[in-house]
């Protein structure tokens, strides 16, 4: 069995369209299709079936995926051992991170890490949803919940708090609610319900029944700008709200939501020197910024 064909199979299993897999592999979609057909012919089994959302694994494909991921993990481990990567403070580390934490905390201090480790290239992937370390989409992920399964090492990174904020201009124009139940009389900023990628982001239900955002975005940075502009009241992480002098807390004694960040690393890369260097730096940073995280 050709390892290159297995790499194509893995890429297609993780990004189930030929075009997306081709981009990840740096080849064209025609080549992806040709190598997949060669692998299926070699195994005498159909591995994917087409669907509305792209290619879906067949039963044979799901069985092969277990073996292919095992082979990939073994190859990565062998490379690390034989090339001496475990002790090398160089190379690339890809970090999947929530947009708000990535923008307001990590990016503002990442230059310090780079100055201390100039040979380590850090890729911060800040998107809606998280890349999956189990599937080797990222070396490390900072997630909102502990993963239930997978060859992963998970550690609670830090608790953080969210509060209700308003712009000073909003308070001057509209006044502020005296009680949580009065929030129905105000424009609220929040997430688009259909685009909430983690249940931990459903805050409004914990504040009062029946609250819905009048202005919604899948981006916490957009939500911050909406609140800052005076468009409405919004729940923001304290590490965002407390860094903006234009904002004031609202119902401070009544509205407080606590969540946690989890540091998740694939077991195969956890001992690499560059990963250890980054996780040690990250742990130290959140300890230093604990007051800001908790508001």
Q: What confidence score (pLDDT) does residue 134 get? A: 60
Q: Decide if 98 contacts 264 (C-beta within 8 A).
A: no
Q: Decide if 135 contacts 264 (C-beta within 8 A).
A: no
Residues constituting the chain: 295
Specify the pTM: 0.71
Q: Decide if 150 contacts 27 (C-beta within 8 A).
A: no
| Structure tokens, 147 | 């993963």
Which stretch, 8-12, 209-213, 258-262, has highest mean pLDDT?
258-262
134-147: average pLDDT: 83
pLDDT tens per residue, range 41-77: 999 999 988 877 778 889 999 889 888 887 877 776 6
For the chain, the distance separating the N- and C-terminal CA atoms, rounded to the nearest angstrom, is 56
pLDDT tens per residue, range 105-136: 999 999 999 999 999 999 998 876 666 666 66
| Average pLDDT value for the chain | 89
Strand partners, 167: 247
Give the phi and the psi of residue 120 in degrees, each rounded to 5.
Answer: -100, 120
Looking up tokens 């308003």 gives 166
- Of the pLDDT bands very low, low, confident and very high (cuts 50, 70, 90), residue 228 is very high
Of 216, 209, 215, 211, the C-alpha closest to 194 is: 216
Q: Which domains does the chain possess?
A: 3-82 (1.10.10.10), 92-156+260-294 (3.40.190.10), 159-259 (3.40.190.10)
């Amino acid at each position: 069995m050709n390892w290159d064909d297995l790499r194509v199979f893995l890429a297609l299993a993780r990004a189930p369209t030929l075009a997306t897999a081709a981009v990840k592999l740096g080849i064209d979609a025609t080549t992806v299709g040709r190598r997949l057909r060669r692998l299926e012919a070699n195994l005498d089994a159909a591995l994917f079936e087409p669907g509305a959302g792209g290619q879906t694994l067949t039963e044979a494909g799901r069985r092969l995926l277990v073996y292919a991921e095992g082979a990939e993990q073994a190859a990565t481990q062998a490379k690390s051992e034989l090339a001496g990567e475990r002790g090398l403070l160089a190379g690339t580390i890809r970090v999947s991170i929530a947009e708000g934490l990535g923008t307001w905390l990590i990016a503002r201090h990442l230059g310090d890490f780079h100055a201390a480790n100039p040979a380590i290239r850090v890729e911060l992937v800040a998107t809606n949803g998280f890349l999956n370390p189990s599937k080797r989409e990222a070396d490390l992920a900072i997630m909102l919940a502990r993963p239930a399964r997978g060859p992963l090492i998970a550690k609670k990174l830090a608790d953080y708090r969210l509060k209700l904020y308003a712009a000073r201009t909003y308070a001057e124009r509209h006044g502020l609610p005296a009680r949580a139940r009065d929030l129905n009389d105000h424009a609220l900023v929040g997430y688009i319900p259909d685009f909430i990628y983690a249940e931990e982001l459903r805050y409004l239900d914990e504040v009062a029944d029946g609250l819905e955002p009048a202005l919604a975005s899948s981006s916490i940075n957009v939500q911050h700008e909406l609140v800052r502009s005076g468009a409405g009241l919004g729940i923001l992480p304290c590490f965002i709200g407390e860094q903006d002098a234009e904002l004031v807390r609202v119902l401070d004694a009544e509205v407080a939501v606590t969540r946690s960040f989890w540091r998740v690393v694939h077991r195969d890369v956890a001992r690499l020197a560059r990963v250890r260097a980054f996780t040690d730096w990250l742990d130290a940073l959140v300890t230093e910024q604990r007051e800001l995280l908790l508001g």
